[in-house]
Amino acid sequence: MKKIATLTLLLLMAMNTSVAQKRVTIKKIESRLITNEGIEFVGTVRDKNNDHYMFPRWSNNGVLYVGQKIYGIGNINFNITTNAIDSRIAKDKLFMFNSAYVDSISINNHLFKKVGNLFYEVLFEKENSMFLKKYDIKYEAGHEGRMGGVTGPSQTSVIFRYVVVDPERKMNRVELNKKSILEVFQNKKDVLESYAKKENLSFRKEEDIVKMLEYIIDYSS
């Protein structure tokens, strides 16, 4: 494991306001990924798998936030199956970052924040309100044959679950439909419904719900 081929990483930003770019290389990988700059990432090395990943390729623009430090990292992806961040360090080897040491991650301008122990994509955030999207896996067993037994392989697919964090910081699980969204804003549902109708917004589209949340927060201020 100590002789894993060197992986070149690009450090886009260092601590605080520094934006000087540095190239760092992996010196050692065991339970920690250690670079020649002394930067350490805690995680686990494992074999390549058939998990579902957000992006089809590994060459992505990733920005990793760990405490007060900000790192730019390529060869990184969001593992939907495990709700974790993986980096491809060799053809058949992956480094799975320990989520306990990661606050948030941006991959190709998709920002994921850890809420509780899980990562959610942040679709909207303003003041105390958020609109979050959780990537999940749906498992479907093979079909039952007429003569008994299961025929055909089981299937997996990616599904999405949504949460609206209201101004009181309460997490409300929602569906992308009118009834579910309006229930979160009981005291202002008439205002929100009127605005959506006026602007021809759909309660089934993420980008339209973002506009509604922006409006109702400004209206309440």
* Cα–Cα dist 101/42, whole Å: 7
Q: Quick check: 49 pLDDT over 80?
A: yes
Better pLDDT: 20 or 24: 24
Helix (H) or strand (E) holding 204: none
pLDDT, one tens digit per residue, over 111-163 is 999 998 899 999 999 988 999 999 999 988 766 656 656 566 678 899 999 99
Q: Quick check: 23 pLDDT over 90?
A: no
pTM of structure:
0.80
With the CA atoms of 208, 210, 213 and 215 taken in that order, what torsion angle do they form, in degrees rounded to the nearest 10? -70
Q: pLDDT averaged over the chain?
A: 81
